Chains A and B, each alone.
Chain A
Amino acid sequence: MNSTKTTGAEAVMKSLVAEGVDTIFGYPGGAIMPIYDALYDYVSTVNHVLVRHEQGAIHAAQGYARTSKKTGVVFATSGPGATNLITGLADALIDSTPLVCITGQVASHLLGTDAFQETDVVGISMPITKWNCQVTKAEDIPAAIAKAFYIAQSGRPGPVLIDITKDAQFEEMDFQYEKCTHIRSYRGRPRINKAHLEEAASLINNAQKPFLLIGQGIMLSNAEKELVEFVEKSGIPVASTLLGLGAFPNEHPQYVGFLGMHGDYAPNIKTNECDVLIAIGMRFDDRVTGDVSRYATQAKVVHIDIDAAELNKIIPADVGVHADAKEALTLLLDLVQEKQHTAWLQEFKDAKIVEEETLAENAKELHSDELKMDEVIKMLSEVTNGEAVVVTDVGQHQMMTARYYQYNKTKSNVTSGGLGTMGFALPAAIGAKIGVPDKPVVAIIGDGGFQMTLQELGTILQSDVDLKIIILNNRFLGMVRQWQQMFFEKRYSFTNMVSPDFVALAKSYSIEATKVEARADLKESLLEMLNHKGAYLLEVMVAKEENVFPMIPTGASVSEVRLN
């Protein structure tokens, strides 16, 4: 490639363009001003979304990455700009979301001197990034960015942070860009051990009651098609983790539900009844397993994951396969025998009926005239035909959405899983919509979480984001309240929420808004929201003290899942 004299700041922009970046979420400030100045020359080709807080930028980049399959890019300044990224970095690391965050830093001669807006962001972010580095020379910028994209996207994806001192941004250098394709100390794609896959196939072929658990790894490796082929050939029932929702169509007859603490009854109890448990692209989070000492101890466990550190971390695997999910499924497809497990699948269906009947009984205990969260989600699922991109925050509304939205499309579920970050949904949904502008995107948020990042309504206004927002308002921090009811003798310590007039708030940002309280108006309100051109906020008043069931209390086994 021809080299040309450029400043470090221009080199940042040229490097990003070389990586195919067309969208950046960010917020300017002193130490990143040279990069923002360079960005000014790219406004016609690169869409920079000005957020209202750096946490909003990084969550938006996460939403963007999760829906578009591209790497999310974030700009922030030094000091407070950089520290405001911390929650998002931790969230993206635990949920395997590829991000490249570029932070400005004080000039290199000021490093370590407590200069204005100086903070050791490389030190702070070390445990919550897949990789990070500080660049103090302009000539090192292209290689650092190339390495950052390679690391963020390959293997188990994750967030990367590059901290660039202000003098490096001003310095002149000869620009050349070469994509990174290899790092000696890092292997993105594992070499698959075929013997392990043959062992796995032998267990699967001899199983009477095999059970397949899938996670986000399916989507990260683009293995959706291979998964369907494998499932249909092997006849195995499939359940999904929270982040795996959407990887396998919920309408498929072999789909048996959502796993874990607030997951479905059938997949939880059947985990402890199956004879071979196959887990692909998931990491046995404690919200999935409950008490690990009583988790699937009767079963032979096959665990397939791209991250070797996940194998045997929580649940010992009889066969651990270190592999990319798509590659493993492609090879397994040839090794497994064609089978049907009709009677076994029927057991899941029977358990589902038990769940539905008990939950219907539970619902009778609440005032019947109040809207329930689950009926809102079911109605939304119906009117969107399970085809919207649904972004959720954290808490009861999140679990209700995971339980009752019929995810039929891949990459249609964006939520904060591992970290459980309240305030995630509004900015993440902004990014999600920008990532897939042609798809309907609906953010479902509680009244608590919405107020953690509601300043991003300003971003919706300024960038004209056609986002639909549903606030499920129960006037409580509902999930904590549920725990207080169940485990703390109803001592509702600081879980009641007094909220502003959300409709008036949205309107002050020129966002169309309505509030709905009556069941009779629900469907009409949802349709009006969905058909509206442009952003829309719908506040739905729901029962104050609805609980999410089923539930596996902390320390209990999956087979002790409670229905009330």
Chain B
Amino acid sequence: MEKTYTVSVFTENSIGMMNRVTIIFTRRHLNIDSITASESEVKGVFRYTIVLRTTRDQVDKVVKQLEKVIDVLKAFVHEESEIVHQEIAMYKMRTESLTNGDVEKVIRKHHARILTVDPTFMVIEKTGHVEETQLLLENLQPYGVLEFVRSGRVAITKPMKELRSYLEEL
């Protein structure tokens, strides 16, 4: 059965790492829904967070093949219940759309915030799950959304040894 899985991959910081990670998925014809990368709490160790829909069997095999990549330190797979995750979304609208009080109500209702206001446009920010940022988009669209962008998922796992303890084992 297909489900959404979040894969966390910890790697050395070497050129081409993103490619080395993603080709493992490509080869199995798996489509990545989102991918983010940043340095982890350990200096020099990068953390990739990859979200995809597939079967447990496939994702388990992918994780083992990720761990075969020389510069991959460790890879984990998580079900939705095992992680706390978040995305960030930004919405650009005309400043004049604020003159109608309805947009203010939408922003309040969604606990979104205004990052910047320019004479012509403004940028609204909302963090949350995809469904939440998507709902805000749909609610703002009647008033004209000029641009919309959503980040990939970042996720912290609930039950996990600290990365440092894995690094010590290695």
Contacts and interface: CB of A to CB of B under 8 A. Distances in A.
Interface stretch (A7-15, A124-132, A400-408): A124-132
Contact of B72 (A123, A151, A185, A312): A185
B68 A307 contact: yes
Given A134-B15, A309-B64, A127 B70 contact: no
A183 B27 CA distance: 26
B167 to A, nearest CB: 7
B139 interface: no
Contacts of B60: 312
Interface of A: 122-123, 126-127, 130-131, 133-134, 151, 183-187, 307-309, 312-313
User: Top 3 closest A-B pairs, CB basis?
Assistant: A309-B64, A131-B70, A185-B73
A105 B72 CA distance: 26
A126 B26 CA distance: 13
Given A151-B70, A308-B64, A184 B167 contact: yes
B73 A127 contact: no
A130 B19 CA distance: 14
B32 interface: no
Contacts of A312: 60-61
Given A134-B15, A187-B170, A126 B20 contact: yes
B12 A123 contact: no
B87 interface: no
Contacts of A131: 70
A152 B20 CA distance: 18
B69 to A, nearest CB: 8
B16 A122 contact: yes
Contact of B19 (A126, A134, A309, A313): A126
Nearest to A147: B70
Nearest to B14: A133
B71 interface: yes
A126 B67 CA distance: 15
Interface string B53-92: 0000000110011011011110000000000000000000
Given A123-B16, A126-B23, A185 B71 contact: yes
Contacts, number: 42
A187 B68 CA distance: 9
Contacts of A130: 70
19 contacts: A123-B16, A126-B20, A126-B23, A127-B23, A133-B14, A151-B70, A183-B70, A184-B73, A184-B167, A184-B170, A185-B12, A307-B68, A308-B64, A308-B68, A309-B61, A309-B65, A312-B60, A312-B61, A313-B64
Nearest to A309: B64
Interface string B27-61: 10000000000000000000000000000000011
Contacts of B167: 184
A131 B15 CA distance: 12
B11 interface: yes
Given A122-B16, A134-B15, A308-B67, 15 more contacts: A126-B16, A126-B19, A126-B23, A130-B70, A133-B15, A184-B12, A184-B73, A184-B167, A187-B170, A307-B68, A308-B64, A308-B68, A309-B61, A309-B65, A313-B61
A187 B166 CA distance: 13
B49 to A, nearest CB: 18
Contacts of A308: 64, 67-68
Contacts of A123: 16, 19
Contacts of A183: 70
Contacts of A313: 61, 64
Contacts of B73: 184-185
A313 B68 CA distance: 13
Interface in B151-170: 167, 170
A308 B23 CA distance: 19
A96 to B, nearest CB: 12
A186 B70 contact: yes
